Amino acid sequence: MADKGMVFHHTFQSAAGAVGNGAAMDVGGLALVAVQVTGTFSATITFEGTIDGTNWVSLLARDVASGAAATTATAAGIYQVPCSGLSQIRARISAYTSGSVTAVGRGVFSSQGIHVTGT
């Protein structure tokens, strides 16, 4: 849902305590989604995207604190996920040991000046 500044908010995972896909976010027309992962947990969050709604692939996300780029996160933080051309993204809990994971997203139409690279 858009707010006055045309920013879109979404909850991927809400205090999740198990492996699961969570809720996918429609990102048609968005350039970038910032995903904030919170909680005390031992788990792996895999950032994924799809065009057709069926076949999901891993997406490279950038940890804003360290600048590191990866397809997964194992710690709380904020991760920037480019999504131009995709129809949906998700923050899937792909491995879980303990704790509670919350992941929320904020999408924007323009990611001018933001670059996610593997180096």
pLDDT value at 119 more than 80: no
Q: pLDDT tier at 106 (50, 70, 90 boundaries)?
A: very high
- Which among 19, 23, 71 has a CA at the least distance from the CA of 48? 71
Q: Using CA atoms, how far apart are residues 51 and 35, in angstroms rounded to an integer?
A: 19
pLDDT value at 2 more than 60: no
Question: Considering the entire predicted model, what is its pTM?
Answer: 0.87
102 and 23 Cβ atoms separated by less than 8 Å: no
pLDDT given at position 74: 97
Architecture of domain 8-108: Sandwich (2.60)
User: In DSSP terms, which residues pair with 81 in a beta bridge?
Assistant: 33
